[in-house]
Every structure is written in C-alpha cells, then in structure tokens.
Amino acid sequence: MSDSATSDKLLDVKDLRIEATVYPPGETPKDIVIVHGVSFTLEKGKVLGLIGESGAGKSTIGLASMAYGRGGCRITGGTALFNGEDILAASKARVRDLRGSKICYVAQSAAAAFNPAHRLGDQIVEATVLHGVSSRAEAMERADHLFEILGLPNPKEFGQRYPHQVSGGQLQRAMTAMALCSQPDLIVFDEPTTALDVTTQIDVLAAIKHAIEETGTAALYITHDLAVVAQVSDDIMVLRHGKTVEYGPVAQIIETPQEDYTRELVSVRSNIKPEAEDQTKPLLTIENIDAAYGNSLQVLFDVSFHLPKGQTLAVVGESGSGKSTTARVITGLLPQRNGRVTFDGRDLAPKLADRPREDLRALQMIYQMADVAMNPRHTVRDIIGRPLSFYFGLRGREKEKRVIELLDQIEMGESFIDRYPAELSGGQKQRVCIARSLAADPKLIICDEPTSALDPLVAEDILKLLMNLQKETDVSYLFITHDIATVRAIADSIAVMYQGRLVRFGPKSQVLSPPFDDYTDLLLKSVPEMELGWLEKALVERKMEAAGN
C-alpha cells in the first residue's frame, strides 16, 4: 500500500477496560469487569493473534477495536488510536464511517453472519459502495478479483448466489472477501475457521493468509487454537480472564513461552493413552449397516465395526460423514434399513420402542451441548437422580447417597447438588451429564463430541475424567469426534468415516500409521501443528501429491 503516514502504528490500544452488567438468578444485577486494562499495538500490514479460552475477553477486545460492544458490554476506559484517532471517543457517525471502510470484521459463523435474504455479491459490496469507497461496478470487479484470490469456484458467478446455496467453507471465504472489498487498513478475524471441518479449515486458513499478504492489510486474528494462530500471526497476545498473560513475537510464544499458562496451552493434548492389546472380544458389533432419512436420503452405506469391553472406539470424520447417524442407529433412534447391531452377545432391536429397559440402561449417551441436554428447571439432584429412580427404583435417602457418590466420582462433590444448570460452568455441565449417564450403570456410553464445545484445558480435564472412569467401571466408549488430537489421546481403536462410508477401521496404531488411504491421509495432514511454517509445508505437500497423481 502506498500510504505515506509518518508512523507505522495502525492501531494503538492502551489500558482498554470493558464492563458488562450481569443478572445472576435470584440476585441483584451487578457490574463485572470483562477486560482489565489491556494494551497492544499493531503496525500496518502486520497480524496480531489474540488467543485464550472462552471468557478471556478476546472477542470483546476485537470488537472494541471497532468501537462496538456486543450484548451489554460497555467500553469504560482506555484509548484505541486508529491512525492516530481515538475511535473510542469518536462520534457515532464517525465510527460508522470507519466501520466497513477502514476497519472490517469477519465473524465466526459466516453461515449466520450473512443475511439469508440477499445475494452474496450485494452484501459483499454494500458497505464499500455505501461508504463511497468506490462505485458499485468497481466494487463488483474487486469482489470478483477477491473471489479468485480466495480460491472460490466460478468467481464470476459466485456473487449471484444466496448464502444457503454455498458451503460453509465458501461462506467463510466470502466473508473474508466482504471484509477485504473496501481495501481496509485493519480486519478483525473473530475465530474465522473454528466452525469449519479440519480439512476445510486448512484451505480457508491458506486463503486468508494469502489474501492478507496480497492486500497488505493488518489484522487482529482471534482464536482459541494456538496452532492455527501460529500459522498466520506476526505477534501473539495470550489472554486469560480479561488480562494479558503474555505478549510477544510468535516464535517466542511458541518456542520459549515465559508463563506457565502459555506453556500449558502449548503442550495441551500430549497425554497419549496406550492402546489396549486384546481387541478381539466385542461388546458392541455393527455389521453392514445401511441407514436413510426418509425414503430417499441414504446416509450410511455398509458400515461395520466393533468395540471391545472397557475400551474406547473413536469414530472420526467431518460433518456429514455419518458419525452421529451411526450413533442414532446404535441407540435405536433411527432404525437401520439393513444390517445388524449386536450388543453384549444379543441382537439389539432396531427400534427404540422395541428395546427392553435393560438395553436402554446399558447404553447411555453424552452430548456435545451439555446445556441443552439438561432440563434448565431441574437441579443437579433431579438430573442425576432421575436415572436412579427410573432404572433402579431408588428413592429418598438411598438415592441421595448415590447422587453424592456420583458427584464425588466426577470430582465435583456434594456442594453442587442444589444448583441449576445455569449456575454451572461449561465443563461442570458436561460433568453432570457424565454423572447422569453413569447413574444408569451402563456398559457403553456413546459420547457425541463431548469436548468440542469446551476450551482446550477444560476439554483435557473432561477427557482425563472419562479415562479414569473407564478404569474404575470398565465402561466402553464410542467416542464421536472430528478432532484427531483427541483421538490420539484416548482411543484404543479408530473408525474413519467419509460420506457415509467406513474408510478405515482398526487398532489406533494401525489406523494412524502408513500406508494411508487418501482420505485419512488428507485428514491427518490437515490437523494444524504447533509449529511455525506448518501451513506452508502442508500446502506444498498437498500440491506435490496432486502433481504426483
């Protein structure tokens, strides 16, 4: 960019303080501080990664650099100099002028962030035209050019599409095109790849990085995934509870972290559980399963695998691969068309309604969204106590005693017994869900992405808890996930699924070692590694393979 400003500082944030009012149930509303005096500077054309777990204030800081407070957030202190002008003190009209022309935003879920009623092209050029940056025709031309840079299919026609007509990965790229269209000085990327499959993420990540380099814009890149941010950033700021933990060049943060918390983040998911040796005696076997929704939409094709007692089978695949549908067949929610499910030496009835209560008890589930899997009007006592009375007829003192035992087992303790789900943290909610499934004394627990909505460190604790419980109770897990790191950590055997078919199945050591089939290879190579320059290496490898084919 041929900008001849005297200073290289594009954004200079000092002592940023953000507050919000919370309304705890049954108490008087109170103000809490979300961001405590955070400072950073961003030079022209550089990328600063903001990283931390949920509640760290990273998105809030990103939005504050657009002078925007989401929900009830109020910016109550500090300055944010953008090209030397304090945008926090600027008038509303001035802020509107800057947004969409000089500072742009890329949201986490592009699927929700695009207006379903308008064509993508119209939405992408809207701000550029409205702010008078360029004429509509010029903006359209630039959008087409951006579609090309971002590797979108049919760049000439892409703008004519409606949001529902393109895939999630394409929408995320379209969102980036929207942000780049007005040739802004700064883009705030708010977890732009978090909602994507790992195989899509790498493409979008590469496209974003390429576009940033090509256009010379600066960026704030917000994410909870250190491995991702290491690929695109020049500097990294680690945040926790609204405070800066560590702030420095990317190489320093990744290679020689100074703070314990950063070290924990860097080393997360390193515990590898040795796989069980004898995997021959199955507790659960599914053979040649075909399943379909309605009359026409077949989603599972000839899927077979088995899971031994006291072990963990990880079912891996991207969204739409049929992982969750397989779980629905096993639980009887979606009776299979063909094939059989054998459990504990007997055939399971395809339909849930035909299964005896004993089968229902022995097969429990844990879900991804713990907070919607619990009745918000029930206390922890009711939630964990329900299966105790339903399956075992426990009442009164006896039931209470067992609930407390279960709470101890999930390392929470008696003090939580009268809480409502809304009064628990994300990790605690998932623990209560685990206790509820344990209460039925099951032989198999189907875990449907139980940690993917949690922060890495919390997820780590949940995985440890699950592994401990397996040792204690000899329960088997069918663990559905899209996260290879989790799989490496906990699985005994792995089933890889792709487009409704099983592409690879066997003990972990076998599945994760070459020779690979094409899909497993792609999947493994797409997982970001905590290593500088990984993205470039992975892309080069891909290109070479494509050329070799």
222 touches another protein (CB under 8 A): no
105 touches another protein (CB under 8 A): yes
* 3-state SS class at 43: strand
Task: Yes or no: say if 495 and 316 are a contact pair by the CB < 8 Å rule.
Answer: yes
114 touches another protein (CB under 8 A): yes
- Cβ distance to another protein smaller for residue 174 or 205: 174
User: Which of 165, 271, 319, 375 touches another protein (CB under 8 A)?
Assistant: 165
Strand order in the sheet with 444-448: 363-366, 444-448, 476-481, 312-316, 493-498, 501-507
Burial of 54 (0-12, 13-18, 19+ CB in 10 A): middle
Q: How far apart are CA 26 and CA 430, in angstroms?
A: 24
Q: Which stretch binds another protein (CB under 8 A): 122-130, 262-270, 368-376, 434-442?
A: 122-130
Residues in the chain: 549
> How many other CB atoms sit within 10 Å of the CB of residue 395?
11
CB of 401 to another protein, least distance (A): 44
Secondary structure element (H or E) that encloses residue 93, with its range: helix 92-98
Strand order in the sheet with 9-22: 30-43, 9-22, 74-82, 85-86
User: Site map for another protein, 125-144, x if CB under 8 A?
Assistant: -xx--xx-------------
CB of 29 to another protein, least distance (A): 16
- Cβ distance to another protein smaller for residue 63 or 239: 63
Amino acid letter, residue 466: L
- Cβ distance to another protein smaller for residue 2 or 295: 295
SS3 for 427-486, per residue?
Answer: HHHHHHHHHHHHHCCCCEEEEECCCCCCCHHHHHHHHHHHHHHHHHHCCEEEEEECCHHH
Q: How far apart are CA 98 and CA 496, in angstroms?
A: 47
Q: Which stretch binds another protein (CB under 8 A): 160-168, 199-207, 388-396, 428-436?
A: 160-168
- Cβ distance to another protein smaller for residue 112 or 137: 112
Amino acid letter, residue 273: K
Number of residues lying near another protein (CB under 8 A): 31
346 touches another protein (CB under 8 A): no
- Cβ distance to another protein smaller for residue 130 or 524: 130
99 touches another protein (CB under 8 A): yes
464 touches another protein (CB under 8 A): no
- Cβ distance to another protein smaller for residue 95 or 524: 95
116 touches another protein (CB under 8 A): yes
467 touches another protein (CB under 8 A): no
* 3-state SS class at 507: strand
401 touches another protein (CB under 8 A): no
For residue 438, what are its two tokens? 């344990």
What angle in degrees, to the nearest 10, is found between the helix axes of 518-526 and 198-215? 50
Q: Which stretch binds another protein (CB under 8 A): 114-122, 279-287, 382-390, 488-496?
A: 114-122
- Cβ distance to another protein smaller for residue 167 or 267: 167
* 3-state SS class at 311: coil
Q: Which stretch binds another protein (CB under 8 A): 98-106, 225-233, 467-475, 505-513?
A: 98-106
SS3 for 191-257, per residue?
Answer: CCCCCCCHHHHHHHHHHHHHHHHHHCCEEEEEECCHHHHHHHCCEEEEEECCEEEEEEEHHHHHHCC
Amino acid letter, residue 338: N
For residue 92, what are its two tokens? 């509303």
- Cβ distance to another protein smaller for residue 107 or 412: 107
CB of 78 to another protein, least distance (A): 20
CB of 501 to another protein, least distance (A): 23
- Cβ distance to another protein smaller for residue 187 or 432: 187
- In this structure, the dihedral spanned by the alpha carbons of residues 163, 212, 148 and 199, taken in order and rounded to 10 degrees, is -60
User: Site map for another protein, 241-260, x if CB under 8 A?
Assistant: --------------------
365 touches another protein (CB under 8 A): no
User: Site map for another protein, 269-298, x if CB under 8 A?
Assistant: --------------------------x---
Task: Yes or no: say if 149 and 216 are a contact pair by the CB < 8 Å rule.
Answer: no
183 touches another protein (CB under 8 A): no
CB of 311 to another protein, least distance (A): 41
User: Site map for another protein, 65-94, x if CB under 8 A?
Assistant: -x-x-x------------------------
Residue 208 to residues 104, 140, 177, 190, 197: CA-CA distances in angstroms?
14, 20, 9, 13, 16
Q: What are the residues binding another protein (CB under 8 A)?
A: 63, 66, 68, 70, 95-101, 104-105, 107, 109, 112-118, 126-127, 130-131, 162, 164-165, 178, 295
